[in-house]
Amino acid sequence: MKQLITLTFFLLTFTAFAQKPCEYSVNVTDSIGTYKVTQEYLISEKNFGGSSNYVFFSLAQTDGLPTLNLQLIQKSKDFIKANCFDKNSRVFLQLLNGKVVTLLHIDQENCGTLIHNNGFDNRVTTGIFMFMKENYEELKKSPVTMMRIKYLTDVEDYIVKSELTSEMNGKIYNPDTYFIKNISCVD
């Protein structure tokens, strides 16, 4: 009997802490269909010489189709080069297990929006990327170690950290396990 109680307690504790509930910024179901988007999550932050670059991810599901929303925010007093997304843009994710997951950009060109604010130029660029069926499951199993973003005319690499303390807001993020913890929210 004592073992049964211990086992029950263990299983209840395990399930309580196994998965955090999904937090959505948008969760709409209507006559047209369903649309869910998770909260934005900081994946990369670079601050150097008066310039700041931030990469945020959120996952979306539109009528059962999961996608990755990528938002790049650049801030500088100097000229900010436009990095455009087009139909040939890709996000490559190198996983800890050695596999590479490729995400394809939708066929919509976007060079971002330039906003002038208090002597700073800010460029906000967004892209929607689709998961490929053959490697979607790998994101649930292995942390991400590197990310490469292929723009229209440029390629940029990012080291994905296991822990990131943001200089912007002081919060602690775990970008390497972002997909492991959140992809079930759009399954």
Tell me whether residue 143 is in a domain.
Answer: yes
Number of domain units in the chain? 1
pLDDT of residue 30: 84
Host domain of residue 169:
24-186
Tell me whether residue 166 is in a domain.
Answer: yes
How many Cα atoms sit within 13 Å of 109 on the Cβ side?
5
Tell me whether residue 7 is in a domain.
Answer: no
Tell me whether residue 14 is in a domain.
Answer: no
Nearest to 85 by CA among 115, 53, 107: 107
Q: pLDDT truncated to tens, each residue of the chain (187 aa)?
A: 454 444 444 444 444 445 568 999 988 888 888 899 999 999 999 999 889 999 999 999 988 899 999 999 999 998 888 899 999 999 999 999 999 999 999 988 999 999 998 888 999 999 999 998 888 899 999 999 999 999 999 999 999 999 999 999 999 999 999 999 999 999 8
Phi-psi region of 7 (alpha: psi -120 to 50; beta: other; left: phi over 0): alpha
Tell me whether residue 97 is in a domain.
Answer: yes
pLDDT of residue 20: 65
Tell me whether residue 161 is in a domain.
Answer: yes
**Is the four-CA dihedral 159, 165, 170, 175 of positive or negative sign?**
positive
pLDDT of residue 135: 82
Tell me whether residue 76 is in a domain.
Answer: yes
Tell me whether residue 11 is in a domain.
Answer: no
CA angle 75, 80, 82 (to 5 degrees): 115
pLDDT of residue 119: 85
Tokens for 142, please give them: 């292995």
